[in-house]
């Protein structure tokens, strides 16, 4: 075989046995492949002592490394889909596959790759769906109302709150804010709190009794009492709707607003007003 036939043989073998086999429906190419393989076998069997290797032949693949037709058939069988008994589906046990069967076997390789690729896409989609469900299974709820802070209160009030009044602690810091008096308590109306906890209580300033008139055993109040206690990482806070029961000074200061919130932070109280 000359160099041109050798190149043609390699190209046809790549089309028949390579990863991008496309010779299945090309009968002329199949016949040409058989002719060239037969010529190659005849050339190898009839050779005794070959001449010196030339530059053109040195570039060619050694003959013993070229796949024979029988080796290609074995490779085709290994890539071919099999039935339950392990034999290829398109021929019976003990029978040699014909050219169409061998070509179908080589074409099965890219088909199987396409199937594997499709399965990988499905698996990736399933994983993505699982991750999406994990992220959206719990609907997020904002922990902040988004209301801007209006001011910060510091314990500078001249009002004295007797110990025990609505649960007030001894020497409690006191805060005044437009007719409201805020102070710290042991538990408010929510019961005792855990270690390190705190409660904030708000009443109308006119309802705070005088120190000398408070006996500590009993107390009464005419207006509403607002209280809230901390729990773990959550700070003590109270929310007060700005309706007719609040002091007139507070209602007038925030006329048109809907509610006010007080949040305890150490010895300070943040004030947040919902303007509506």
Model confidence pLDDT, tens digit, residues 236-253: 999 999 987 899 999 999
Neighbouring C-alpha atoms within 13 Å toward the C-beta of 20: 1
**What was the pLDDT predicted at 189?**
57
Answer whether residue 127 shows pLDDT above 50.
yes
Residues ≥6 apart with Cβ < 8 Å to 251: 242, 243, 244
Is pTM, for the whole model, over 0.85? no
Q: How far is CA 14 from the centre of its chain?
A: 44
Please enumerate, as own/partner, the contacts of 260-266 that have beta carbons within 8 Å and a separation of 24 or more.
Answer: 261/145, 261/147, 261/237, 262/153, 262/182, 262/200, 262/202, 262/237, 262/238, 263/235, 263/236, 263/237, 264/184, 264/198, 264/200, 264/230, 264/235, 264/236, 264/237, 265/235
Answer whether residue 7 shows pLDDT above 60.
yes
Neighbouring C-alpha atoms within 13 Å toward the C-beta of 97: 23
Model confidence pLDDT, tens digit, residues 183-215: 998 875 555 566 677 899 999 999 999 888 887
For residue 204, give the nearest of 227, 185, 178, 228 by alpha carbon.
178
User: How large a percentage of the chain has pLDDT more than 70?
Assistant: 61
Mean pLDDT of the chain: 75
User: How large a percentage of the chain has pLDDT more than 90?
Assistant: 27
Model confidence pLDDT, tens digit, residues 33-87: 889 989 888 888 876 545 544 444 444 444 444 445 554 444 444 444 444 444 4
Tell me what the mean pLDDT of segment 97-116 comes to: 57
Alpha-carbon torsion, ordered 204, 207, 210, 215, to 10 deg: -130
Calculate Rg over the CA atoms of the chain: 46
Per the CB < 8 A criterion, the answer to whether 167 and 188 are in contact is yes
For residue 203, give the nearest of 219, 221, 217, 185 by alpha carbon.
221
């Amino acid at each position: 075989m000359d160099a041109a036939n050798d190149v043609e043989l390699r190209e046809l073998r790549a089309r028949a046995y390579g990863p991008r086999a496309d010779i299945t429906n090309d009968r002329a190419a199949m016949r040409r492949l058989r002719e060239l393989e037969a010529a190659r076998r005849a050339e190898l069997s009839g050779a005794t002592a070959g001449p010196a290797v030339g530059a053109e032949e040195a570039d060619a693949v050694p003959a013993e490394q070229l796949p024979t037709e029988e080796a290609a058939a074995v490779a085709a069988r290994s890539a071919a889909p099999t039935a339950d008994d392990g034999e290829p589906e398109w021929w019976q046990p003990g029978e040699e596959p014909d050219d169409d069967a061998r070509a179908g076997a080589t074409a099965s390789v890219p088909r199987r790759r396409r199937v594997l690729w499709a399965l990988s896409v499905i698996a990736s989609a399933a994983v993505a769906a699982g991750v999406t469900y994990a992220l959206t299974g719990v609907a997020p709820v904002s922990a902040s109302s988004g209301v801007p802070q209006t001011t910060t209160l510091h314990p500078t009030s001249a009002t004295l709150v007797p110990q025990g009044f609505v649960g007030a602690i001894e020497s409690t810091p006191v805060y005044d804010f437009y007719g409201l008096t805020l102070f710290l308590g042991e538990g408010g109306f929510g019961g005792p709190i855990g270690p390190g906890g705190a409660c904030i209580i708000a009443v109308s300033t006119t309802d705070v009794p005088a120190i000398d008139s408070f006996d500590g055993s009993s107390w009464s109040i005419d207006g509403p009492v607002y209280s809230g206690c901390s729990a773990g990482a959550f700070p003590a806070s109270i929310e007060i709707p700005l309706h007719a029961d609040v002091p007139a000074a507070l209602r007038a200061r925030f006329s048109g607003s809907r509610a006010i919130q007080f949040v305890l932070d150490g010895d300070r109280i943040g004030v947040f007003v919902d303007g509506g």
